[in-house]
């Protein structure tokens, strides 16, 4: 059993306890808005940085050293999981992620390989071990994975897309093959998250960034059962490690998501937090949900946003302050500092 972190606020809130201060961390807290990140990125591709545990650890710690965040998140990406399954990933500048051999027909799914995260994604597990060492228990470290639906979107589309219309069409056309793909992704995500926990991740977050492109009925049929299965397994195999769910644009799905065996329900910025808390209730802890664009606007917009987000969550048993999606790359770092100080000061 490892010692409790010196700053336990984040893990306490995950358990529904009341910490001494409101914990805060930011999705995409490591990244291009930081000069330290851009300096390293100028010399290495994103995949080189993720696959070298020393560099991934350096990047994980950049925001921790710059700002008094209450949690670190391991520097990795949701898409690396698809590589050992057989999909060839490249990040193309100006275009984003591209898979050179996306899934085109049901036969491609039968060719996908089961992964062994301990071997094939060991770079991230080593980065977790090294980051835990360097963090020296100051704050907890969060591990993460993409949810099966969001991973399936990239695997089929082969790149980003506005609403993944082609993917939804594929799903409706091939429901059987879709279920097979989701089963395989679920096994891979479960293996990966359990391996991250084994390596030292003290909480895990499932990012279902594109779930919001589905109607509630289709989410229930085509996506939710597999996310639920992941949380069921984690709850059984690693009951003490908090489980966080986040979906962007997923306000209309919360009715289903809030019934998953999760510890923390993440809200994107479009969701009325006070209404969500009263509707879905406690003992869930909540995470969110400041509009990331406020950080681009003015100090006053940040101050005002922090106050209203905190007030909106005041009925929750516990609140972890976060943005309602990732930090935008043009964010001035001073505003991130202001945001975190404001969250801590307004308790």
User: Where on the chain is the footprint of ligand CP3 (CB under 6 A)?
Assistant: 27-32, 41, 46, 73, 75, 77-79, 91, 96-97, 144, 160, 207, 209, 248, 326
Q: How far is the CB of 86 from ligand CP3 (least distance, A)?
A: 18
Nearest in space to 322 (alpha carbons), one of 267, 283, 242, 271? 267
Nearest to ligand CP3 of 77, 183 (CB atom)? 77
Q: How far is the CB of 110 from ligand CP3 (least distance, A)?
A: 26
Name the β-bridge partners of 243: 204
Q: How far is the CB of 325 from ligand CP3 (least distance, A)?
A: 6
Q: Is residue 202 within 8 Å of residue 241, measured between CB atoms?
A: yes
Nearest to ligand CP3 of 27, 264 (CB atom)? 27
- Which residues does 185 contact at the CB level (< 8 Å), separation at least 6? 148, 151, 152, 155, 226
Nearest to ligand CP3 of 251, 283 (CB atom)? 251
Choose the catalytic residue: 37, 149, 154, 286.
154
Number of residue whose CB is nearest ligand CP3? 209
Nearest in space to 167 (alpha carbons), one of 222, 115, 220? 222
Nearest to ligand CP3 of 12, 205 (CB atom)? 205
Nearest to ligand CP3 of 16, 244 (CB atom)? 244
- Which residues does 47 contact at the CB level (< 8 Å), separation at least 6? 80, 89, 90, 91
* Three-class DSSP category at 299: helix
Q: How far is the CB of 34 from ligand CP3 (least distance, A)?
A: 10
228 given a catalytic annotation? no
52 given a catalytic annotation? no
Nearest in space to 68 (alpha carbons), one of 16, 134, 138, 130? 138
Name the β-bridge partners of 266: 287
Q: How far is the CB of 72 from ligand CP3 (least distance, A)?
A: 9
Query: Residue 288 and residue 269: Cα distance in Å, rounded?
Result: 7
236 given a catalytic annotation? no
15 given a catalytic annotation? no
Query: Residue 308 and residue 324: Cα distance in Å, rounded?
Result: 13
303 given a catalytic annotation? no
Nearest in space to 339 (alpha carbons), one of 140, 39, 66, 53? 66
Q: How far is the CB of 251 from ligand CP3 (least distance, A)?
A: 15
Choose the catalytic residue: 52, 77, 299, 341.
77
Say if strands 264-266 and 243-246 run parallel, antiparallel, or are unpaired: parallel
Choose the catalytic residue: 32, 220, 221, 228.
32
Choose the catalytic residue: 15, 28, 129, 220.
28
Nearest to ligand CP3 of 45, 278 (CB atom)? 45
List, by residue number, the catalytic residues. 28, 32, 41, 77, 154
């Amino acid at each position: 059993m490892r010692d409790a972190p010196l700053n336990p606020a984040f893990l306490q809130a995950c358990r529904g306890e009341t910490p001494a201060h409101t914990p805060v961390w930011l999705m995409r807290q490591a990244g291009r808005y930081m000069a330290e990140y851009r300096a390293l990125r100028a010399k290495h591709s994103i995949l080189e940085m993720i696959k070298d545990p020393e560099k991934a650890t350096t990047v994980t710690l950049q925001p921790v050293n710059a700002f008094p965040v209450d949690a670190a998140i391991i520097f990795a990406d949701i898409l690396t999981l698809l590589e050992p399954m057989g999909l060839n990933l490249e990040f193309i500048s100006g275009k984003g992620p591209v898979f050179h051999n996306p899934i085109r027909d049901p036969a491609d799914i039968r060719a996908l390989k089961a992964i062994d995260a301990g071997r094939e994604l060991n770079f991230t597990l080593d980065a977790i071990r090294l980051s835990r060492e360097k963090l020296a228990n100051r704050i907890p470290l969060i591990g993460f994975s993409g949810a099966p639906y969001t991973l399936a979107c990239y695997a089929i589309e082969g790149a980003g897309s506005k609403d993944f219309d082609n993917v939804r069409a594929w799903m409706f056309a091939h429901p059987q093959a879709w279920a097979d793909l989701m089963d395989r992704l679920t096994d891979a995500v479960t293996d990966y998250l359990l391996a991250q926990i084994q390596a030292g991740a003290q909480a895990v977050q499932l990012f279902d960034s594109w779930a919001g492109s589905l109607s509630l009925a289709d989410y229930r049929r085509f996506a939710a059962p597999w996310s639920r299965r992941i949380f069921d397994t984690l709850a059984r195999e690693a009951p003490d490690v908090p489980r966080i769910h986040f979906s962007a644009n997923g306000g209309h799905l919360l009715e289903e998501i809030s019934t998953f065996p999760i510890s923390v329900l993440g809200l994107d910025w479009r969701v009325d937090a006070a209404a969500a808390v009263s509707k879905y209730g406690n003992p869930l802890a909540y995470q969110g949900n400041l509009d990331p664009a406020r950080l681009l606007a003015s100090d006053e917009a940040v101050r005002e946003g922090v106050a209203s987000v905190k007030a909106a969550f005041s009925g929750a048993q516990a609140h972890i302050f976060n943005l309602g999606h990732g930090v935008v790359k043009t964010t001035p770092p001073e505003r991130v500092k202001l945001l975190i100080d404001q969250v801590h000061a307004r308790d």
